Structure 1
Amino acid sequence: MLMYLGLSMVLSLSGMLVFGLKRKHLLIMLLSLEFIIISLYLNMFIYLSQISYDYFFLMFFLTMSVCEGSLGLAMLVLMIRTHGNDYILSFSSLW
Structure 2
Amino acid sequence: MEMMVGISVFLYFMGLLSFCLNRKHMLLMLLSLEFIVVSLFLGLYVYLCVYSWEFYFLMVFLTISVCEGALGLSVLVLLMRTYGNDYMESFNLLW
TM-score, with length taken from structure 2: 0.97
Q: Which residue of 2 aligns with 1:67?
A: 67
Q: Distance in 1 between matches of 2:42 and 2:92?
A: 36
In the TM superposition, what are the counterparts of 1:1-95 in structure 2 within 5 Å? 1-95=1-95
Q: Secondary structure at the match of 2:64?
A: helix
Identity of aligned pairs, percent?
57
CA apart distance, 1:24: 0.3
Q: Secondary structure at the match of 2:88?
A: coil
Provide the alpha-carbon RMSD of the alignment: 0.7
Q: Secondary structure at the match of 1:89?
A: helix
Q: Distance in 2 between matches of 1:44 and 1:92?
A: 38
| TM superposition outliers: structure 1 runs of 4+ over 3 Å | none
**Pairs aligned (count):** 95
CA apart distance, 1:69: 0.1
CA apart distance, 1:37: 0.3
Consecutive unaligned residues of structure 1, counting only runs of 5 or more, are none
